[in-house]
Structure formats: structure tokens, C-alpha cells
A and B are shown apart, each in its own frame.
Chain A
């Protein structure tokens, strides 16, 4: 069965420090992988997506993710966190067929300390 695991429920990072959010997936075929951010009162915003090609994917807001097929992981990284990055982050996997819905992980809450 398809599944997405985000092992860290809550992470606190100092402003300016680097960030890595973990995500592991279980999927029978080549997955389509997404990272979303959810801020209070706002919809999910797509940070980046991986379909194929380079395993290091650049996203918006300075985020990047590295896809490691051997580890079934796609961890989200940011070299220097800003206070405005505090939010809920979701990893998701989707099938390649058009119209297929996404399977989400449980999310990681990021807090940024000053």
C-alpha cells in the first residue's frame, strides 16, 4: 500500500540555522513527490515537486529537496530559516496517472526561535 511517513511531528529551529525535514514513502512505481506548506488560515502552497531527472530539486522560498531512491526518501532542506517559515509542512506522493489524488504524510510543524 502507498504511504508517506514524516517521522518528526514537531521541529524547532533557530532563525538563521539550517533545516531538514524528513519524508519517506512507500510506493510501487516511480513516484511523483511533492512538498507543501500550510500556514494558518491559508491553503496548501506547493514548495516543490519531483517527477524525474535531477535528484536535487529547487523550490520556492529557498527550499530544496533531495530525492534518494535507494532510501525511498525526499527530505526538504533550507540553508537558513526565517521566522516566516514557521508553518506546517506536508510531504505527499502521487501516481502518474492524470486525476489521481495525493497521499499525504501527517505533517511536521516547524517552529522558529529567535
Chain B
């Protein structure tokens, strides 16, 4: 149980285009989902927290107009990287909370974004 999927697992796009990454909780309802960014050999940095049906809360330094997050349902959150540039190339990971259990999150496998 408690499986989180991400799609796509990897994507290559041209500079200036937009890319959408999906995060789904497959067997539970996720009241809260998180989006992290991981640079090579670095830790996971929280980008934003999203609650179903409300606006995402972005961490300091994260451009909300560039990284659009939509948590439209209890099983789906999307991250759209708008007007992507090479510096946006990274590994994006989502996680989801079940709403039960103290602060336990379940992580997706990540999406590797490469912007040419």
C-alpha cells in the first residue's frame, strides 16, 4: 500500500517550452502533497506544499509563476515548469501524506527533467 507514482519518469524539452509532471497516489487519498527538487549529489529541497483544493504554499526563493502546482484531487497533483531553461534541469520528486499517522510521507520515484 501507499504507492506514489510520477509521470513521466524522464523528460527532455527545449528551452522556452513548458513541461507538466504528474504525481499520483495510487491506493490512498493524499490530503497533502509535497514537491521537492534534488540536484546531483545534493539533498532534497522542498519547493512547495499543496493541499487538495487550495493554493500551494511555496518555499522562499521558489518562483510560483514558474513552477505552477495544481492539486485538483485527492490523488493527483501536477507541477508545471513554465518557460523552462537549462538551469531548471533537475530531478523532481513528489511525496504524499495519507493524513493518518504522524507526518509519514510516501515518495514517488522522481522525474528527471533535462532542458536543452
Contact = CB atoms under 8 A, between A and B. Distances in A.
Contacts of A56: none
B49 A99 contact: yes
B102 A104 contact: no
Interface string A71-114: 00000000000000000001000111111111111110100000
Given A32-B102, A46-B104, A98 B97 contact: yes
Interface stretch (A13-21, A36-44, A61-69): A36-44
Interface residues of B, number: 26
B107 A43 contact: yes
Given A95-B103, A104-B44, A43 B4 contact: yes
Interface in A5-48: 9, 32, 36, 41-46
B78 interface: no
A101 B46 contact: yes
B109 A99 contact: no
A106 B99 CA distance: 27
Interface string B42-72: 1111100101000000000000000000000
A35 to B, nearest CB: 13
A45 B49 CA distance: 20
A42 B97 CA distance: 18
Contacts of B107: 36, 43-45
A96 B43 contact: no
B93 interface: yes
Contacts of B110: 43
B103 A94 contact: yes
B66 to A, nearest CB: 19
Contact of A90 (B4, B43, B46, B49): B43
Contacts of A99: 31-32, 49, 51, 97
B77 interface: no
B105 interface: yes
Closest 9 CB pairs of A and B: A44-B107, A43-B107, A43-B109, A106-B43, A104-B43, A94-B103, A99-B32, A104-B44, A101-B46
